[in-house]
Amino acid sequence: MHRQGLEAVEALVKARRAPYEAINVRAITPVIGAEIEGVDLAGDLSNQQFDEVHRALLEHHVIVFRDQHLTGEDHKRFARRFGRLHVHPLQAMREGDKERLEVKATANSKFVAGEGWHADVTCDAEPPMGSLLYIQQTPEIGCGGDTLFANMHLAFDMLSAPMQAFLETLTATHDGAIPWVQGYGYRPNEEFQKNVHPVVVRHPETGRKLLYVNRGFTSHINELARFESTALLEMLYRHIETQPALACRVRWTPNTLVFWDNRCTQHQAIWDYYPLDRAGHRVSIIGDRPAA
Ligand code: SIN
């Protein structure tokens, strides 16, 4: 990693000095991800536990809770403490609970959810602030189906100052047709959402800048010619997707809930367990309009 990136990591780690008292927090890497212990998400969290879980999310961006035994209502009740629940456009077209998206792969699956790098539903005007994926069934060989997460603050911090300044002048279009029509072949009655967001935004709670384009939803940069937009986006995607220092890898065990801050991370599900099964549900929380 070059010096600018190392300085960003140093600042990030230094900012995280205050101890936790009501929960245990064990970082997965210095820059992203933490395992949280001492919380039963099916019960009522004390205010201090809730505040510390919230702080852990802001500091580590991806938090992992193992051995949780949750009903659908428990899952949603915990998520609701952070805000109003989001209805995923694909779940809106299905029967059943609209606020819990089924995430399931079997021997009959033609694709799995989230197989390419993305942030969730950035085509919305107010994309989810976070998602809580609860995986109950993992592949029976005891491994496979890990999820990769990458830190978009650090992705921005690691760019050179002239590139950062240029990106801050740009906006990009995010289009739901890219994953769901072009990718999965859905033919909805109404068109999926399409919205414009700045290429560099500030996290609404911490104020830190971050890179806000993703291969899953971003179609183009509005101020550039198409060939320029394609080249610039490809450079940024390669930067995000091929820097191991930005990322952590979460290995699922049955009944694990992972909560990611969708405002400042991207993730990719790894389908390396075919023809075995993996199953769970995702609940997402509506966020704010991304702002520069
Ligand atoms: C998703 O993108 O929400 C799916 C992630 C996963 O299955 O690990």
Ligand 1 closest atom vs CA 118: 2
Question: What's the gap in Å between 79 CA and the centre of ligand 1?
Answer: 17
Question: What's the gap in Å between 233 CA and the centre of ligand 1?
Answer: 23
Number of domains in the chain: 1
Distances from the Cα of 42 to the Cαs of 66, 68, 89, 181, in angstroms?
12, 7, 27, 37
pLDDT of residue 3: 66
Q: Is residue 292 part of a domain?
A: no
- pLDDT tier at 275, thresholds 50, 70, 90: very high
Each residue's pLDDT tens digit, 166-208? 999 999 999 999 999 898 888 888 899 999 999 999 999 999 9
Range of the domain at 276: 3-286
Q: Is residue 33 part of a domain?
A: yes
What average pLDDT does the segment 59-67 reach? 98
**Closest C-alpha residue for ligand 1 atom 6:** 269
Q: Which residues lie below 8 Å from residue 246, measured CB to CB, with a gap of 6+?
A: 31, 32, 150, 151, 154, 155, 158, 240
Taking phi over 0 as left and psi of -120 to 50 as alpha, with beta for the rest, 17 belongs to alpha
Decide whether any atom of ligand 1 lies within 6 Å of the 127 Cβ. no
Q: Is residue 10 part of a domain?
A: yes
Ligand 1 closest atom vs CA 280: 7
pLDDT score of 11 more than 90: no
- pLDDT tier at 1, thresholds 50, 70, 90: low
Decide whether any atom of ligand 1 lies within 6 Å of the 114 Cβ. yes
User: Which contacts qualify for 73-80: CB closer than 8 Å, 24 or more apart?
Assistant: 74/41, 74/42, 75/41, 75/100, 75/132, 75/134, 75/257, 75/281, 75/283, 76/100, 76/283, 78/41, 78/45, 78/132, 79/132, 79/283, 79/284, 79/285, 80/285
Each residue's pLDDT tens digit, 68-77? 999 999 999 9
What average pLDDT does the segment 212-241 reach? 98
Q: Is residue 192 part of a domain?
A: yes
Q: Is residue 181 part of a domain?
A: yes
Catalytic residues, which ones?
118, 120, 267, 282
Each residue's pLDDT tens digit, 98-121? 999 999 999 999 999 999 999 999
pLDDT of residue 10: 72
Best residue among 103, 214, 215, 252 to mutate for probing ligand 1's pocket (most ligand atoms within 8 Å of CB) is: 103
Question: What's the gap in Å between 269 CA and the centre of ligand 1?
Answer: 5
Look up the CATH number of the domain holding residue 92: 3.60.130.10
Q: b or e along 53-89 (b: 16 or more beta carbons within 10 Å of the residue's beta carbon)?
A: beebbebbbbbbbeebebeeebbbebbeebeebbebb
**Closest C-alpha residue for ligand 1 atom 5:** 269
Question: What's the gap in Å between 4 CA and the centre of ligand 1?
Answer: 31
Phi and psi at residue 192, to the nearest 5°? -70, 160
Q: Is residue 166 part of a domain?
A: yes
pLDDT of residue 217: 98
Q: Is residue 291 part of a domain?
A: no
